[in-house]
A and B are shown apart, each in its own frame.
Chain A
Amino acid sequence: MSGMASRRLVRASLGALAVLTGLYLVLPVFIVIPMSFSDSAFLEFPPKAWSWRWYENFLGDETWVSSLVSSVQVGVLVTLCAVVLGTAAALGMIRGRYPLKALVSALVMAPVLVPYVIIGLAVYAVFLDLGLTETLLGFVLVHTALAVPYVVITVSSALMSFDRRLENAAMSLGAGPIVTFARVTLPVILPSVLSGAVFAFVTSFDEVVTSVFLSGPDFTTLPVQMWSGVRVRIDPTVAAVSSMLLLVTLALFAVAGLARLARRVRAGGAKERRSS
């Protein structure tokens, strides 16, 4: 076999593998979305007849809607807290000079490594005493801890490539530390902060394991409602909710991706203009 032919074979099989991997990853989507439009009273694939009834059912049902509202509330608050804390933590981890820095970094990142069941169980035991289960505050506290590492990861990588001479320049021009951060550092790393925010929101919005421990009749989030929906009665409403969750997540990442693309196009256009 000639080198050219074998190279082509390798390329073809790599391509096939990529397609298979892609399918494997998105296949659930192709099943859930059609099921959500089924007319049947049971989860059914492929659907025999189509309808919007499960979407109507979702929007007409008080428990579903209130859990959606709770999820959004928690998600927004978690995003705010995680972005502030995560950015501050990233600054401390990249810029700070203090003893046991490695230990501090490990602690900040711990929530990603510790199994969520363990976190959920530990939190449940303590929060029960404090009266924080089934409360907005309880959810926000736990989800924020889970979301902070994602903000830390994106922001610290931006800080590592940040040119600190920009800060020296700002200071030589009369800007104190706060103005320097607000006017120079933050705007430059903003895209990474925003993508960290998307990760934080999605982390909270999708979270089931710890939420199951915290949920109850007084306060439940959408994923937990779905989970109990599946457990108690198999109801295609779950498929409708899943499809909507998917849409929200996709939309958020699409916005983040488009923002990045727009920046690249702008920088690319800049380069062209310079060379002309």
Chain B
Amino acid sequence: MSDGGSVDVRGVVKRYRDTLALDDVTLHVPGGEFVTLLGASGSGKSTLLGVIAGFTEPTSGSVAVDGRDITKVPPYRRGLGMVFQHYALFPHMTVWDNVAFPLRRRRVRGDELRTRVEQALEVVGLGALAKRLPAQLSGGQQQRVALARAIVFRPRVLLMDEPLSALDKRLREQLQLEMKRLHRELGITFVFVTHDQEEALTMSDRIALLRDGRIVQAGTPEELYERPSSRYTAEFLGESNLFPGRDAGTVLVVRPEHLGVLPQGESLPQDHEAYDCDVREVVYLGSGLRVEVELRSGQRVVARTAARGPHVPKPGDSAIVHWHPETSVVVSDDE
């Protein structure tokens, strides 16, 4: 039994004058899952989060938490935790008062208030900074305070709107791990918004990829990466190579790690598909090589191969790029 609430978005449409920010979005988030809403800017991912949080009223459709319809419930009665992109800490309150804010709204007082605030600060490792003002903290510390403030009242769902995008890479990666840990420890549902596909792949149980106000594909990171349903998904997540499909309106997607590069004249493994090509660039990555080749058609293709072996490609080589058909995916060409 999980402590996380399930979230159900059904047929949500949000129209602003003449733009459709959300176009009939339906999404089921099982209790306790870490779900990421992934998309480019303008895809509607933040609008969708705003609808779940209650800041944005949908034009039509409904939102339910644990089966209870909350479409008409104001945000302050939804009891969902929320972490904002730029932290949104109250500048006139100390760290301690910021974290105590949601508890005071719930009439928690005295020893219980003190214990719970201290616990929440302990969880994010900021116990020593309780008396500081937000302006006296670094970006990473501020985001930890925001996190403590959002979980201190034990919400069953935590919403996060690009919480790490204002931080530098190292800090971001560190906080990604902390959030994963927090998700495990708290057992509550996380709905996380990001435009960073790598972040989505590393953190989520499931990803919903949005484009132009619609969910293009939803599934586990593996499903989205290995079995994209469309060209858009294939290109948005990770690197991909596209070849013309057999049927009109389809393309063949092959990930760089599934491509091999052999010198001209070498015999191909059985059943492999192949194109003649010229090697253009070879970059040593430590874990392997990134080989960029140019097909006869002029198209550029990227392969990742082992750095050692009998045939290490060099720029200028005539070569064959090949793959096993099972590693390729036929998807609809939605570009």
Check A174/B76 contact, CB under 8 A, given A179-B105, A273-B136. yes
Nearest Cβ on chain A to B178's Cβ, whole angstroms: 20
When distances are taken between beta carbons in the complex, the residues of chain B under 8 Å from A166 are: 88, 90-91
> Which residue of B105, B133, B136, B159 is within 8 Å of A174 (Cβ)?
B105
When distances are taken between beta carbons in the complex, the residues of chain B under 8 Å from A187 are: 90, 92
Q: Which of B133-150 contact A (CB under 8 A)?
A: 133, 135-138, 149-150
Q: Which of B107-132 contact A (CB under 8 A)?
A: none
B82 within 8 A of A: yes
Check A173/B136 contact, CB under 8 A, given A166-B88, A184-B90. no
Check A168/B55 contact, CB under 8 A, given A173-B102, A176-B76, A188-B92. yes
A8 within 8 A of B: no
B61 within 8 A of A: no
Q: Which of A250-276 contact B (CB under 8 A)?
A: 267, 270-271, 273-274
Contact: A274 with B105, CB < 8 Å?
no
Q: Which of B80-114 contact A (CB under 8 A)?
A: 80-82, 84, 86, 88-92, 101-102, 105-106
A169 within 8 A of B: yes
B53 within 8 A of A: yes
Check A169/B82 contact, CB under 8 A, given A179-B105, A274-B136. yes
Check A163/B88 contact, CB under 8 A, given A168-B55, A172-B53, A172-B81. yes
When distances are taken between beta carbons in the complex, the residues of chain A under 8 Å from B77 are: 174
> Which residue of A163, A168, A183, A184 is within 8 Å of B75 (Cβ)?
A168
Nearest residue (CB) in A for B139 is A274
Nearest Cβ on chain A to B156's Cβ, whole angstroms: 14
> Which residue of B88, B90, B133, B159 is within 8 Å of A270 (Cβ)?
B133
Check A171/B76 contact, CB under 8 A, given A165-B86, A179-B105. yes
Q: How distant is the Cα of A11 from the Cα of B101 in the complex, in angstroms? A: 53
When distances are taken between beta carbons in the complex, the residues of chain B under 8 Å from A85 are: none
A245 within 8 A of B: no
B153 within 8 A of A: yes
Q: How distant is the Cα of A187 from the Cα of B137 in the complex, in angstroms? A: 20
Contact: B105 with A173, CB < 8 Å?
yes
Which of A171, A179, A273 has its CB near the most chain B CB atoms (within 10 A)? A171
When distances are taken between beta carbons in the complex, the residues of chain A under 8 Å from B84 are: 165, 168-169
When distances are taken between beta carbons in the complex, the residues of chain A under 8 Å from B106 are: 174
Nearest Cβ on chain A to B330's Cβ, whole angstroms: 43
- Pick 13 A–B contacts, CB within 8 A, sort by A: A165-B84, A166-B90, A168-B53, A168-B88, A169-B84, A171-B55, A172-B76, A172-B150, A173-B150, A175-B101, A180-B76, A270-B136, A273-B136
* 8 further interface pairs, Cβ-Cβ under 8 Å (given A171-B75, A172-B54): A163-B88, A166-B88, A168-B55, A169-B88, A172-B53, A173-B76, A175-B76, A274-B135
